[in-house]
């Protein structure tokens, strides 16, 4: 009898549309991830999570894209927006699938026990939940032109939200272990970019 109200609330939460459910997750991120793990949404819904997140992120970046295109004058504004749309909707989903695989590999360093599916779910759901913070930070770039600061805060906000999801998926007691797990992926990406830059600089003609 005591579990009935909790089960009823869980059923109501599952009936909510995706975006209201993502907003409600800010009231309890680990709990929202636990509900996702219990429901085990199909791969199609996981893809919907990351595609919706990327559409929101693309839309919020349009003003910055327009400002950059007008300042540089190298291409028409509509062409720049179209190219960014293709990047976000065609290339970025594949990139995030690769990131999910990397998170699964890195989980061994933190004693994680989740599989590839759980890491996809944690990353894609975490990205969708993090959208309010990322949209707000994108808007902030229009008010104060400090892109490096806002980009750093966006990365931090994403790591914290995704870290909550990773903590629940992997059974970490501490949320900060999940955050460290997420940050480790960023460190690997930065090292990879730095390595590629070094190779490009020493290559013939570089």
DSSP state of 113: -
Query: Which of 39-53, 149-163, 181-195 comes out lowest in average pLDDT?
Result: 181-195
**Residue 54: is its pLDDT beyond 80?**
yes
Per-residue pLDDT of 88-137, as tens digits, reads 999 999 999 999 999 999 999 999 999 999 999 999 999 999 999 999 99
- Of the chain, the end-to-end C-alpha distance in Å amounts to 70
**Domain extent listing, the chain:** 22-202
Percent of the chain with pLDDT over 70: 88
Per-residue pLDDT of 193-205, as tens digits, reads 778 777 667 766 5
The predicted structure's pLDDT at residue 15: 62
| CA 38/CA 123 separation, integer angstroms | 16
Residue, of 197 and 165, whose pLDDT is higher: 165
Residue, of 72 and 30, whose pLDDT is higher: 30
Count of C-beta atoms within a 10 Å radius of residue 193: 10
Query: Which of 129-133, 175-179, 184-188 comes out lowest in average pLDDT?
Result: 184-188
* pLDDT, average across residues 73-90: 85
The predicted structure's pLDDT at residue 5: 47
Residue, of 114 and 190, whose pLDDT is higher: 114
Is the pTM for the entire model greater than 0.85?
yes
What integer best gives the mean pLDDT of the chain?
Answer: 88
How many residues belong to the chain? 206
DSSP string computed for 164-194: HHHHHHHT-SSHHHHHHHHHHHHHHHHHHHH
Residue, of 204 and 56, whose pLDDT is higher: 56
Q: Which residues contact 151 (CB under 8 A, 6 or more apart)?
A: none
Count of C-beta atoms within a 10 Å radius of residue 162: 28
Provide the CA 152 distance to its chain's centre, in angstroms: 14
Residue, of 66 and 57, whose pLDDT is higher: 57
The predicted structure's pLDDT at residue 74: 61
The predicted structure's pLDDT at residue 162: 97
> In 16-75, which ranges are continuous DSSP H helix?
18-24, 29-39, 43-72
Per-residue pLDDT of 154-163, as tens digits, reads 999 999 999 9
């Amino acid at each position: 009898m005591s579990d009935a109200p909790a089960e009823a609330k869980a059923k109501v939460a599952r009936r909510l549309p995706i975006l209201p459910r993502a907003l409600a997750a800010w009231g309890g991120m680990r709990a929202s991830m636990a509900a996702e793990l219990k429901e085990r949404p199909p791969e199609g819904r996981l893809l919907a999570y990351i595609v919706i997140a990327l559409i929101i992120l693309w839309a919020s970046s349009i003003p910055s894209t327009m400002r950059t295109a007008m300042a540089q004058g190298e291409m028409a504004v509509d062409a720049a927006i179209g190219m960014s749309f293709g990047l976000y909707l065609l290339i970025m989903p594949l990139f995030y699938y690769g990131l999910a695989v990397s998170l699964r590999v890195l989980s061994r360093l933190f004693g994680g026990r989740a599989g590839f599916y759980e890491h996809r779910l944690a990353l894609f759901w975490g990205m969708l939940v993090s959208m309010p913070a990322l949209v707000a930070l994108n808007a902030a770039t229009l008010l104060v032109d400090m892109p490096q600061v806002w980009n750093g805060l966006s990365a931090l906000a994403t790591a914290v939200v995704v870290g909550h999801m990773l903590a629940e998926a992997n059974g970490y007691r501490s949320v900060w272990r999940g955050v460290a797990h997420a940050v480790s992926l960023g460190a690997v990406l930065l090292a990879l970019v730095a390595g590629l830059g070094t190779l490009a600089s020493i290559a013939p003609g570089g």
